[in-house]
Amino acid sequence: MPTYDYICKKCQHTFEAFQRITDSPITDCPKCGLKNSVKRLIGGGSGIIFKGSGFYANDYKKSNPPEKKPIEKSPCRACPSKGSDVKKDHKGKQ
C-alpha cells in the first residue's frame, strides 16, 4: 500500500496517509477540521524511501578490516635476465 502526502489549503498542515490505491482521497484536515480543504500532493513515483537513522552500506562491515599485504611480483621465468637485448614488450613467450 502506498503512502500519500496531503496538504490543507487553509492551515498549510502537511501529513502522510497510508492508503490503498482504491481508497478515495482524504478531504478533511485532521488539524483544523475544515471539510473539503485537503489536497493530495503529487508523489515522486515508485522509489524506495528509507526513513530513519542508518541504512548505509558500511553499517554491517567489520570494525577493523584486515590490513592488505602488498603483492610481490615474481619475475617471469621465460624472460631473460636484465641487461639482455630483448624488447621491453616481451610477455613471457619466446
pLDDT reading at 84 higher than 80:
no
Residue 38 bridge partners (DSSP): 8
Cell matching residue 32: 483544523
Model confidence pLDDT, tens digit, residues 38-80: 999 877 656 666 666 666 665 555 566 667 777 777 666 776 6
In the prediction, which pLDDT does 9 show? Answer: 92
pTM, two decimal places? 0.45
Nearest to 84 by CA among 34, 24, 75: 75
In the prediction, which pLDDT does 70 show? Answer: 72
Give the domain ranges of the chain. 3-40
pLDDT reading at 32 higher than 80:
yes
Strand order across the 3-8 sheet:
14-18, 3-8, 38-40
Residue found under cell 616481451: 90
pLDDT reading at 93 higher than 70:
no
